[in-house]
Amino acid sequence: MREAQGKTIYLKDYQPPVFIIDETHLCFQLYEDKTLVSSRLVFRRNPQANAGAPNELVLDGNDLALEKVSLDGNVLDPSSYTVTQESLVIPQVPDSFTLECETRIMPQDNTSLEGLYKSRVMFCTQCEPEGFRKITYYLDRPDVLSSFTTRIEADKNLYPVLLSNGNKTDSGDLAEDRHWVTWEDPFKKPSYLFALVAGNLKSVDDNFTTCSGRKVHLQIFVEEKDLDKCDFAMSSLKKAMKWDEDVYGREYDLDIFMIVAVDDFNMGAMENKGLNIFNSSCVLANPATSTDQAFQRIEGIVAHEYFHNWSGNRVTCRDWFQLRLKEGFTVYRDAEFSADMGSRAVNRIEEVGFLRTVQFAEDAGPMAHSVRPESYMEISNFYTVTIYEKGAEVVRMQANLLGPEKFRQGTDLYFERFDGKAVTTEDFVKTMEEVSGLDLDQFRRWYFQAGTPMLEVTGDYQEETNSFVLTVTQSCKPTPSQPLKEPFYIPLRTGLLNPAGESIVLEVEGHEHDPATDDLVLHVSEAQQDFVFKNVSERPVPVLLRGFSAPVKLHYPYSRDELMLLMQHEKDGYARWEASQQLSLLVLDELIVAYQKNSREKNVDERIVAAFDSVLDAALTDSATDKAMLANLLLLPSESYLAELTDVVDVDAIHFVREFLRRYLADKLESKFLAVYEACNSAEEYVFNANEVARRYLKNTVLNYLACLDKPEYWALIKGQYQSANNMTDSSAALRAVLNNSSEQSKSLRDELINGFYETWKDESLVVEQWFSMQCATSSPDNLVNVKSLMAHPAFDIKNPNKVRSVIGAFCHNNAVGFHQLDGSGYKFLADQVIALNIINPQIASRLLTPLTRLKKYDPQRQEMMRAALKRILDTPQLSRDVFEVVSKSLQ
Ligand code: B3K
Ligand code: ZN
């Protein structure tokens, strides 16, 4: 276990390494009770090291038993070096030397799932960010790039497949039914990209011919039982390889690309050079066991990890403060890939939905940090939505500012200039400036300032001058250690519609005028700015932030009729959806106020019924419309978004009012919902493509509305769908529809489907995880007892992160009304789980904590109980650095 002390690492203290490692030669002897790791490292003093830095060698190492260390062939006496819990220090070494270390590790006991560990029947590794130091002593930092050779020895029957990075160079047999394999990676890499896998694995094989005509062997390794779930990931991989050649000119560089599926994994997947390791939930799929959503996720993650080969591996990060450099950029790349594969508008809506519930909430909480943080205690805590999703938005803004050609020129130059190097976010931005001639000085604040900018926009139409003045005021709330913010540069993509809903050609004072454009980017750069639109003959309705052109909050005092006009006529998918969300928010806000006043009157503005009615009409009459877009237009803002928007969250009001409005709409539009359901229902064979995914999405969205009416005929409909479904999307949607309704009438069906689902799928662990998560995420005040009983289910395993996420995580993150019960039971439950997981798996423990970190958003009574839960965690002995950082910052 790492030390708990809250030692803070600062970017300003960065120093180049005193030594570099030209060659890394590793040998692993894998046994059931231990693993012996021998390393031979060829060191040289770094010419870029500070001249005054002494020749002291400080290697990182964690939880290692050092058996032997030799320098240039001479075994060192223990008195000539120091071993601490986190390092091996040799006080004086020559300018160049070879160091050999032998260490003993215990992968079979490693439940942290960092370093080398056992996932059920196989060995595997996770080294990013600092797991390699749990394997052997090393300069475990991303700016030390080395060539690697790896020899693996293991039992031949238990581990017939032995994998590492690069190309396999040799293999042979050993005594006692053991065997060995050697691998050599021709590309220098930092230790975080090292990987090893050993297991009884089978592979699905294919190949891809690159743009220069090289044939690359593609392999997906799985346990035999999962061989029928690899085809989709394989075809996604090939699409991603082609897309990266076409869109970014990036060709794959090795002759082999391998993916391995493992069941115990802390996150989604890892981009190790030539040997990606995936959480099985992010790679294995077939129509019987996986939902459309899982397919989409797999397509995106396979692409993401593949794209890292250039944005991350060939060009890597100098230090972990630069994490956004590879993650934000790669998320942007995978988002564009997904947009090209499916519906661009719907993808954007989903990205925005996620960003502004989860990332905006992070920005408003105690862990808020900039896209390029200044400090951390535990870097694993910084694999955040801010680094990933906001980081991607910051790249997107640059791509939009430069335009496609210049941006491509910029990325080409970036990859060419920094190939094989470890660089900084500044190197990226400078490259973009260089190719475009733009001055991105003010833009850089997006990297340095945390927090979500808020834009207050007002519009003033002046009839006498035919002008429309938009006044934009920006602000950004203080975040920890950043009380004052300078104005951001905010690209505000804007249009104007006339009262008939037609686009107006735009002419703005001070902006270059393109006589044909009905869409332009306003450059918001000051605390307050006016933009004057000329030659506007009638009061217009502004369309603001088209395509969500910047990651900001925006308020404009739209009337409900204006929102209806935007919903009907606006061409940008995001803006149309945003208008529908705004309209729903106005209606929900009114109902929440009434709920809080205990008012019996629940007046629903009929315009929302009309708006939903016209979406349903479009679904029935316009076969060309994107059904996924329509499904999104039928979704009310989520409970978490409603919570994000309020200063003091009223969990109960949000939950009950939203449920009330769902039922109200279902009741008013029942026959239309049913008609859409019937129009979208199909007994055709399952196909995964954008149209079919959209059809099922719309069908299951309307099914949920019908389910809340609590009528026997709809229970029959749901049961029918469950029984006749030929795919997991439809059967799990049916189950979810009954789970979302807690009425007595539906209880017997609910029990029947829950039990039947488990019986059918009990041997498919990924489906069992869905079964857990559907039940635990169900939004209901008294769900905790159910969650606790599921923790006692034989399929639950607290050491398996997927199970933890699907039970504990699903409840605490997705069921606000259950988690925030006024008796404090949810907080106590989470604290107990975090305390247990702190020892087992600190990264998972720390991630689970998120809902407790939001304490300042709640009323004093809840805050007090949340604080008590956090304090109890803080007082736990042997607190990991991961948990300590999050808890101590939350209590500040
Ligand atoms: N780079 C890895 C994340 C590693 C996280 C370690 N705690 C996966 C990814 O973003 O592609
Ligand atoms: Zn990534």
Which residues are within 8 A (CB) of 465 and not within 5 positions of it... i.e. 6 or more apart?
Answer: none
SS3 content of the chain, % helix, strand, coil (to 5): 45, 20, 35
Average pLDDT over residues 271-286: 98
Cα 782 → chain centroid: 29
Mutate to test the pocket of ligand 1, among 267, 310, 384 (most ligand atoms within 8 A of CB): 267
Q: How far is the CA of 501 from the centre of ligand 1 (A)?
A: 45
Output the pTM of the full model. 0.98
Q: How far is the CA of 269 from the centre of ligand 2 (A)?
A: 8
Of all ligands present, the nearest one to the C-alpha of 269 is: 1
Beta-bridge partner residues of 242: none
Nearest CA to ligand 1 atom 3: 270
Average pLDDT over residues 358-378: 97
Q: Which atom of ligand 1 is nearest to the CA of 129?
A: 6
Q: Which atom of ligand 1 is nearest to the CA of 388?
A: 10
Cα(565)–Cα(543) distance, integer angstroms: 11
Q: How far is the CA of 385 from the centre of ligand 1 (A)?
A: 12
Of all ligands present, the nearest one to the C-alpha of 276 is: 1
Q: Which atom of ligand 1 is nearest to the CA of 269?
A: 8
Which residues are within 8 A (CB) of 720 and not within 5 positions of it... i.e. 6 or more apart?
Answer: none
pLDDT tens figures, 605-657: 999 999 999 999 999 998 889 999 999 999 999 999 999 999 999 999 999 99
Average pLDDT over residues 739-751: 88
Q: How far is the CA of 269 from the centre of ligand 1 (A)?
A: 7
* Residue 525 in tokens: 């750069």
Average pLDDT over residues 113-126: 97
Q: Percentage of residues in the chain with pLDDT exceeding 90? A: 96
* Residue 565 in tokens: 């006009």
Of all ligands present, the nearest one to the C-alpha of 325 is: 2
Q: How far is the CA of 844 from the centre of ligand 2 (A)?
A: 18
Which residues are within 8 A (CB) of 22 and not within 5 positions of it... i.e. 6 or more apart?
Answer: 42, 43, 44, 146, 147
Average pLDDT over residues 265-270: 98
Mutate to test the pocket of ligand 1, among 125, 128, 273 (most ligand atoms within 8 A of CB): 128
Nearest CA to ligand 1 atom 1: 270
Nearest CA to ligand 1 atom 4: 128
pLDDT tens figures, 866-878: 999 999 999 999 9
Q: How far is the CA of 308 from the centre of ligand 2 (A)?
A: 7
* Residue 834 in tokens: 């975090």
Q: Where do we find the tokens 């180049």?
A: 16
Q: How far is the CA of 316 from the centre of ligand 2 (A)?
A: 12
Q: How far is the CA of 306 from the centre of ligand 2 (A)?
A: 9
* Residue 261 in tokens: 């599926």
Distances (CA, A) of 234 to 330, 651, 774: 20, 43, 28
Nearest CA to ligand 1 atom 8: 270
Q: How far is the CA of 24 from the centre of ligand 1 (A)?
A: 23
Q: Which atom of ligand 1 is nearest to the CA of 305?
A: 11
Per-residue pLDDT, 5: 59
* Residue 891 in tokens: 């209590």
Cα(478)–Cα(363) distance, integer angstroms: 10
* Residue 201 in tokens: 């694995």
Q: Which atom of ligand 1 is nearest to the CA of 312?
A: 1
Q: How far is the CA of 393 from the centre of ligand 2 (A)?
A: 15
Cα(540)–Cα(532) distance, integer angstroms: 13
Q: Which atom of ligand 1 is nearest to the CA of 843?
A: 7
Distances (CA, A) of 507 to 503, 513, 531: 12, 6, 10
Nearest CA to ligand 1 atom 10: 327
Which residues are within 8 A (CB) of 512 and not within 5 positions of it... i.e. 6 or more apart?
Answer: none
Average pLDDT over residues 309-334: 98
Mutate to test the pocket of ligand 1, among 271, 272, 278 (most ligand atoms within 8 A of CB): 271
User: How much is the CA Rg of the chain, to the nearest whole Å?
Assistant: 28
Q: Which atom of ligand 1 is nearest to the CA of 327?
A: 10
pLDDT tens figures, 16-71: 999 999 999 999 999 999 999 999 999 999 999 999 999 999 999 999 999 999 99
Nearest CA to ligand 1 atom 5: 128
**Pairing mode, strands 315-317 and 269-270:** unpaired
Beta-bridge partner residues of 529: 472
Nearest CA to ligand 1 atom 9: 270
* Residues that are catalytic: 305
Average pLDDT over residues 788-806: 98
Burial of 255 (0-12, 13-18, 19+ CB in 10 A): middle
Given a cut of 80, is residue 325 above it in pLDDT? yes
Q: How far is the CA of 327 from the centre of ligand 2 (A)?
A: 5
Mutate to test the pocket of ligand 1, among 132, 134, 189, 270 (most ligand atoms within 8 A of CB): 270
Kindly list the protein residues whose Cβ atom lies closer than 6 A to any atom of ligand 1.
128-129, 266-267, 269-271, 304-305, 308, 327, 380, 383
Of the candidates 752, 743, 657, the one whose C-alpha atom is nearest the C-alpha of residue 734 is 752
Size of the chain, expressed as the number of residues it contains: 892
Q: Which atom of ligand 1 is nearest to the CA of 126?
A: 6
Cα(743)–Cα(667) distance, integer angstroms: 16
Average pLDDT over residues 232-254: 98
Which residues are within 8 A (CB) of 116 and not within 5 positions of it... i.e. 6 or more apart?
Answer: 28, 35, 37, 105, 107, 110, 123, 124, 125, 134, 135, 196
- Whether residue 608 contacts residue 587, with contact meaning beta carbons closer than 8 Å, is answered with yes
The three-state secondary structure class of 54 is: coil
Nearest CA to ligand 1 atom 7: 380
Nearest CA to ligand 1 atom 2: 270
- Whether residue 728 contacts residue 289, with contact meaning beta carbons closer than 8 Å, is answered with yes
Of all ligands present, the nearest one to the C-alpha of 127 is: 1
Given a cut of 60, is residue 4 above it in pLDDT? no
pLDDT tens figures, 826-860: 999 999 999 999 999 999 999 999 999 999 999 99
Cα(270)–Cα(705) distance, integer angstroms: 39
Q: Percentage of residues in the chain with pLDDT exceeding 70? A: 99
Distances (CA, A) of 206 to 272, 548, 572, 791: 20, 39, 40, 40
Q: How far is the CA of 268 from the centre of ligand 2 (A)?
A: 9
Mutate to test the pocket of ligand 1, among 327, 378, 382, 880 (most ligand atoms within 8 A of CB): 327
The three-state secondary structure class of 315 is: strand
